[in-house]
Amino acid sequence: MTGRQDRADTTNPAKPGMDGAALSQALGIDYPVLLEADLAVIETSLRALAQGGFDDPAVWAALYGRLHDVKGQGGSFDYALVTDIAQQACQLLRAINRDFDLRRRASEALLTSLGHQVAALRLIARYRLTGDGGARGAQLLDGLRTNAAGLRQTLGIDAPPEERSDD
């Protein structure tokens, strides 16, 4: 092997194809603890939105960025349900952030919906619901999807392509 590949092999304990538990162990990361820390940052951004931050692009960027990170981490550590919920939150933020007037109209309902998603993510961390969470995870995700769909309908926002039922 040449220099670059050799360095990657000796400095990174993670290997391609590792499952979430092996990755956590190799990196010395307890993912639910990391998720709780990310949720604290997300809640800080939600409080900033509630206190008038709907006009502040930095608040939107911080909130979206952390949710996007959580979305990616979920799959890496075998928490597919985390990925699904964070993706749903990212989709809502993208749809609403595009329209300044819509942001103002959506403020309270969006904060409520995102609050439900954060609460669900916190439950996943607390009970360490790996993978898709089984029957509990399906029930949780279904409720959150129903809530998000209601918000999109109220605000006149199209559903993301993968959630449309017009096939």
Statement: residue 17 has pLDDT above 80: no
Q: Contact at 8 Å (CB) between 48 and 110?
A: no
Statement: residue 62 has pLDDT above 60: yes
The single-letter code of the amino acid at 165 is S
Q: Contact at 8 Å (CB) between 42 and 61?
A: no
Q: Of 19-23, 124-128, 163-167, give the lowest mean pLDDT range.
A: 163-167
SS3 52: coil
Dihedral sign for Cα 51, 57, 62, 65, please.
Answer: positive
All structural domains of the chain with their residue ranges: 18-156
> Residue 164: its pLDDT value, please?
40
The pLDDT of 92-107, averaged and rounded, is 81
Statement: residue 32 has pLDDT above 50: yes
Question: To which H or E segment does residue 141 belong?
Answer: helix 134-155
> Residue 4: its pLDDT value, please?
39
The pLDDT of 36-52, averaged and rounded, is 94
Q: How many CB atoms lie within 10 A of CB 155?
A: 16
Q: Does domain 18-156 have CATH number 1.10.3470?
A: no
